[in-house]
Structure formats: structure tokens, C-alpha cells
A and B are shown apart, each in its own frame.
Chain A
Amino acid sequence: MKEAVLTILENLPIAPRTYRMKLSGDTSEIRCSGEFVQFAIDGKFLRRPISVHDVDWETLTVIYKVVGEGTAAMAAMLPGDKLKALTGLGNSFDIDACRSKALLLGGGVGAAPLYQLAKELCSQNKAVTVVLGFNNASEIMLVDEFEGLGATVYVATMDGSAGTKGFVTDVLRLKNIPYDYFYACGPMPMLKAVCAAVHCPGEVSLEERMGCGAGFCYCCSIQTVNGPRRVCKDGPVFKKEDLIW
């Protein structure tokens, strides 16, 4: 864990109430996909945990949805503004757990952390299929980015305005997608449905209201088959078989 002062390079809407923020600064503590950072927002007591979407030596990109006052304040920030961030938080996706064919499932803004994961999997020459679920066509994002990495992308929308009508699990039912391991991030009902529908091992990235973000306040604990675990420190990525639904 490291505190860094990052400078906003870009902060643009990419879907309704959803923004992509690119920042420059010390990203050395961010090691792999699945991690998150916590931004300190002026006037807000607690930091905002946001997943890492893309990272290299000099820049960090996050995708966030405006869900409250903190994220609304982020959306109003401009290039050149500074954001203090705790970096290097959380565990990571286990890219070695996938033998050769990875299935990535993202719900809404939950697609964001799967991008860095897809990059890492593609660099290992693993076949990556991405299934993204949204409420409607206007919310669709990141399809070109995933395809640019060489991934096969399917989209599902709840209202049928694009792709398969229904949930990401409907795509799995209708398309014959090859995979030996899955990775999922999105709302809890989606993760629950995915874990029930997919008959192979895999892992999911969870969200919980957090305090410290670094494992010492125990505000974000969940029960697992191995006992209580902190989403911020033992997670956010958990193996499917460890979760209690």
C-alpha cells in the first residue's frame, strides 16, 4: 500500500453517468489486475474504492459510475486536478488458474477491472471470451477495447436493445462458448446467477462498503466457507467455491 498524488489527464463520460478517468503519477504499487485504489475526495470523510481498469508504469485508468456525492465530485474534476490515492489495495485475479480458455463476465461498470485481466490473459496467449451485460444499448462500453486485445465479445442487454436479450447467463445458454475457467465482476445478483450457471471453477470480484480499504478496520467482512474474510484485503477477488450465497 502506498499513497500517491495523481494528476488527472482525462475525465470523460463513456456511458450514462459513467466516466473514464486517466491519471498520471506513481503507479508502482499497482501490481496486477483485480486490485483497486481509494481516492480521497475533498469534503468526504472516507475514500472511494475504485477498481483498476488499466495500468502501466506512468498512468492509471479507472472507470466509475456516479452513484453518490463522492463520485459526482470526481465527475466534476478536470484535467490537471490532483487526486490523492491509496494504491496497491486488494488481491488480484489468478491468471494462472485458467489453462487456456478464459471466460470473462462483466455486469455494467463491473466490466472495468476485466480489461487489465484480459490484457494479462491475452499476453499469455490464452483465448479470452468476454460477455458483458447492460441494462440497455446506451450503457454499452468497452466492446472495442476488449476486441482490440483479441478477445471475442458478446453483449447482453436487459431490454434487448442490443445483443442478446436478457442476462449474461442467457448468452452462455445460447452461445457455445469454450472455456475452462471464469472471472466475473458485477452486481451481486449477477454474480450469484453466474456462479450457479457456470460449471467450471472460477472467481468473482466483489463490492462492499469499505472503511480503510487496507484490511485493518474490518468494516467490509463477509462470511466465506473459510470463515470471515475482508473484501478489501482478502479480496476483492474470491474463488467461487469459497463464497456462501
Chain B
Amino acid sequence: MVRDLSVSLCGISLQNPVIPASGTFGFGLELADSFDLNVLGAISLKGTTLEARYGNPTPRVAECTEGMINSVGLQNPGIDVLVGEKVPALRKVYSQPVIANISGFSLDEYRTCCMRADACEGIDIIEVNISCPNVHNGGMAFGTSCESASEVTRTVKAVCRKPVFIKLSPNVTDIAAIARACEDAGADGLTLVNTFLGMRIDIARRRPVIANKMGGFSGKAIFPIALRMVYQVAHACSIPVMGCGGVASARDVIEMMMAGATAVQVGAENIRNPFACPQIISELPGVMKELNIDKLTDIIGIA
């Protein structure tokens, strides 16, 4: 029998739930020569700000046991290049949904960026990053209190017609409370989790490995924590959740969905294996068969 992998996010149909996470897949085109992007459920584009940003000094990456720390610092060409060049170029080779990921250092910046992303034809969903732990000035603060998270949500919802997903930081004491604050402020959905603030020290040099000292920890090692948070948030809220954090296999995708995720983002695994998403997608039907799952939507939140 044909297994049904399709899911729906706020009325946007995805042929399968597997989405490369923002920051781990560039602007999509970088990988267009490596495999057919059209096998993906959707693509979440690299985080974009109002102005172009170079990001942090190098080294920006540190290896960890079953994971990595990155401190790229939101390098991006700015929202105008995103909507004017990157998305149109991607649209020439890719026809599945596109998620724009927006970051900001002020409510004004979030508002302006989201307005421009909303007006861009090639973008289907707007994901608002209120959680990037890399940038000193602002980004972190929005995601760490219910008040500021809800303020950002209200601000961007006021200017967007497209579905808005708020991407949550795991570096908080009660992620469900922040999730509820975003839902109450009008968010159409939630993406979680972003990276965990982490650090490594080069013991020979006696200095932090990362130039910016700390960065975002991601990879297989965070999967159980991310899964727990997705489970908590899915139970606390009624809007759809994109589960993210340490997903590296078709089984992980199923597990995230059973925890309550409607779609699943793959992040650090892309960086160690650029073919991770197409491999996971091709393995999904076999795992579904083994587990007697006919339709993926049947298992969302079933645990």
C-alpha cells in the first residue's frame, strides 16, 4: 500500500514532514546541485535580518560528543536580497513550500522584515527566530520572557497574512509558558527548539574553541531534551508545532511526531551529512510499514 506522508501546516500542504532547519541548509540553492530539492517537505531558509550581517569571527564551530556548537552569528545578505534574489533563484528549481526565517534586534526590525517576507510571492510561511543565542544584542532577550515573546508575536502578526511560526529558545525555565504566551498573542504555530547555549575549551591552548566563546549546541545529543520540550509544548498549546533538535533518522521523525510535532526539522545532521534529509525521507515509508503506520497524521501527539 502507499503510505501517506503528507501533513498540513496552517493550510499549507507538505508532501512529507521533513524540513531542513534554518541555518543548516543555506538558502537552499547551495544544495540544488547535490540532490533534487523537490523531495523535501519544505525548506526553512537561513535566518535573515534587515541589514546584511557578516556574523561572528572564526572559529565559529566546535565539535562535541554527538553534536556541535556553532556561532555563525546570523551571517546573511539582508531581507531585500532574500526576497529580491535568494527566493526567486530558489523558486526556479524548487516548488515545495518555503519558510523564511526572520531575526531581529528590535520590534521595528522584526516588523519590517516580516512585512517584506509576507509580500514575497515565493515565501509560504514566516518563522520568527526569537531565540538565536549567538548575538549579544537583543535576540536572546525576546525569547526568554513571556512578555517580550508575546510582544514580538503581536508585532509580526499585525503585518503578516501568511502563517507565522515563532521559533522558541530552549534556554528558558518554562518553555510551555512562553509557547502559550505566543499562542495567546496570535502565533499560528511554533517551531522548537533552537540550539542550547554551550561552550568548549581547547585544553591545549587554554582558550575557548569558539572565537565568540559560546555558541548554540545542536545535534543528536540534544534529541531527548528537544523531544521533551516538544511534548510539553504540544500539550500546552493547540497550534501546530514543528519539532526540531537532534533529529537524525526516520525513527527520530516518527518519535518527534508522536511527541506532538506536525512537521519535523532536521538541523545539525545536514551539516555532517548533506544528504540527511533525502535519506530520511526515503527511509520513512519502510519505518512506517514496520510500525503499522498508514498515515503520518495519525501519529501526531499519539504518545
Contact = CB atoms under 8 A, between A and B. Distances in A.
B270 to A, nearest CB: 7
Contacts of A44: 63
Nearest to A209: B59
Nearest to A214: B274
A221 B58 contact: yes
A214 B275 CA distance: 12
A86 interface: yes
Main DSSP-derived SS at the A contact region: loop
Nearest to A233: B30
A40 interface: yes
B75 interface: yes
Contacts of A223: 54
A54 to B, nearest CB: 25
A210 interface: yes
Contacts of B75: 218, 221, 228
Interface string B84-116: 000000000000000000000000000000000
Interface string B1-45: 000000000000000000000011110001101100000000000
Contacts of A47: 272
Contacts of B33: 1
A170 interface: no
A212 B273 CA distance: 8
Interface residues of B, number: 34
Nearest to B75: A218
24 contacts: A1-B33, A3-B275, A44-B63, A45-B68, A46-B61, A209-B60, A211-B61, A212-B274, A214-B31, A216-B24, A216-B274, A217-B24, A217-B70, A218-B23, A218-B60, A218-B72, A219-B58, A220-B60, A220-B61, A221-B58, A221-B72, A228-B54, A228-B55, A228-B75
Nearest to B29: A216
10 cross-chain pairs, A with B, having the tightest CB-CB distances, nearest first: A216-B26, A216-B30, A219-B61, A209-B59, A212-B271, A219-B60, A211-B271, A211-B61, A218-B75, A215-B30
B46 interface: yes
A121 to B, nearest CB: 28
Main DSSP-derived SS at the B contact region: loop
Nearest to A1: B34
Contact of B58 (A86, A209, A216): A209
Nearest to B76: A218
A221 B71 CA distance: 11
B59 A208 contact: yes
Interface in B51-88: 54-55, 58-68, 70, 72, 75
Contacts of A86: 274
B57 to A, nearest CB: 9
Given A46-B63, A46-B271, A208-B59, A217 B72 contact: yes
Interface in A190-234: 208-212, 214-223, 227-228, 233
A45 B23 contact: no
B219 interface: yes
Q: Which of B33, B58, B59, B219 has the most CB of A within 10 A?
A: B58
B205 to A, nearest CB: 12
B54 A46 contact: no
Given A1-B34, A45-B268, A227-B54, 9 more contacts: A40-B273, A45-B66, A209-B62, A212-B274, A217-B24, A217-B271, A218-B26, A221-B60, A233-B30
Contacts of B25: 216
